[in-house]
Amino acid sequence: MDWIQILNNSASSIISPATLAYALAALGLAVHFGYAGLLNMGIAGFMALGAYGYAIGILTFNLPWWAAALLGLAASAVFALILGIPTLRLRGDYLAIVTIAAAEVLRLLFLTTTFDEVTGSADGLSGYHGSFRASNPIPEGTYGFGPFMYNEIGWWVRILGIIALILAAVTVWRLMSSPWGRVLKGIREDEDAVRALGKNVFSYKLTALVVGGVIAAAGGIVYALPSAVNPGVYVTSLTFFVYTALLLGGAATVFGPLVGSLIFWVLQTVLGNVLPAAVDAGLLPFMSNIQAQTLRFILVGIALMLIVIFRPQGILGNKKELTFVK
């Protein structure tokens, strides 16, 4: 087993676009679930809207990449409003069911051949990188050191991803440490108590849904920036992966989602390298190479269950502040 190669890949994944995308998605979900107590089981849908909004903006509407990105964010905000207005009065478990369904509806809309012209249906969308690459200020070449060697496009994507992540994190932090955040914290514990103090609970929950949704959409965009938009990515499993990353780090914190996503992705990469290599080296004789890859996801599922059962506050969370734990 080539440990050097495995380590290199794993280290590199720390700032891969996928990790940054997950961090953004987890941060958005932290606003929904950790801070507002909304059991949103359709975060994958928000990410899809970001990614598709971006790609369609460029390919169909011929927008420059930054305008297309804004389109993706706007689409997600509108979706949050449409979703939120009828459902936020529902009890938590009903909201979960509705959001799963909504995300699936979105995915199927992207998948159907009816809109093939715009969405690419099963093939997805690609080849939208023109204006993005054109706007790259970094001169051609390969830069970096050790495992962090990327070309100018790779760096451009990562830099923008990191900027987006920092902006989102600062916004969430500012928001939650303000009186607005205080009201949300109260709502999370007891809506009626907060209503009795004259706060419009519905408006706060809806705002949280929009803010979280926009951040998650940014994650979808970052994910799609360097590669392609594939409908097969935005399935319900994606939502559960994001939950795993979020709960691992700490649901009601700003750094929790970032730390959680980091660990999640690095581990994924490590396992993604180690397991097939172990199979090749004969250490796992009962498995094939491809099965080893799938094993990764099984382990994620188990990890999610273990976290929820034994340490729901995650690494950085405070058990005393959790409302979803008795």
Partner 1 sequence: MSSDITPPVERPKTTGLHVGEAAPGVAKTDPIIVVDGVRRTFGGLTAVNVDHLEIPRGAITALIGPNGAGKTTLFNLLTGFDRPDAGSWTFDGKSISGMPAFKVARLGQVRTFQLTKALGLLTVLENMKLGAKHQIGERFWQSLFPFFWRRQELEIEDRAVGILKKFKLDAKSEDFAASLSGGQRKLLEMARALMSEPQLVMLDEPMAGVNPALTQSLLEHILDLKDEGMTVLFVEHDMHMVRHIADWVIVMAEGRVVAEGDPITVMRNPAVIDAYLGAHQELDLGVVTGRYEAEDADPTTDALASDTVEVSDIEEEASEESK
Residues at the contact surface with partner 1, assessed by CB under 8 A: 171, 174-175, 178-183, 185-186, 188-190, 192-201, 207, 320-321, 323
The C-alpha atoms of residue 182 and residue 230 are separated, in whole angstroms, by 39
Name which of 20 and 208 has its Cβ closer to partner 1: 208
Answer for the pair 241, 21: CB distance below 8 angstroms, yes or no.
no
Strand-pair partners of 148: 145
Which CB atom, from 64 or from 181, has the smaller least distance to partner 1?
Answer: 181
Residue 4 buriedness (CB in 10 A; 0-12 / 13-18 / 19+) = exposed
CB of 256 to partner 1, least distance (A): 17
The Cα–Cα gap between 57 and 217 comes to 14
CB of 326 to partner 1, least distance (A): 12
When the beta carbons of 108 and 197 are compared against partner 1, the nearer one is: 197
Closer residue to partner 1, CB minimum distance, 150 or 180: 180
Shortest distance, CB of residue 323 to partner 1, whole angstroms?
7
Phi first, then psi: what are they for 150, rounded to 5°?
-135, 165
Of 104 and 321, nearer to partner 1 (C-beta) is 321
Contact 55, 224 (CB under 8 A): yes
CB of 52 to partner 1, least distance (A): 27
Helix (H) or strand (E) holding 143: strand 142-145
Instruction: Give the shortest CB-267-to-partner 1 separation in angstroms.
Output: 31
> Is 141 or 198 the residue whose CB approaches partner 1 more closely?
198
Helix orientation angle between 201-224 and 152-176, rounded to the nearest 10 degrees: 170
SS3 track for 73-123: HHHHHHHHHHHHHHHCCCCHHHHHHHHHHHHHHHHHHHHCHHHHHHHCHHH
Nearest-approach distance from CB 200 to partner 1, in angstroms: 5
Q: Give the single-character DSSP code of 233.
A: G
- CB 312 → partner 1: shortest distance, Å? 15
208 vs 149: CA distance, rounded Å? 38
Cβ nearer to partner 1, comparing 122 with 193: 193
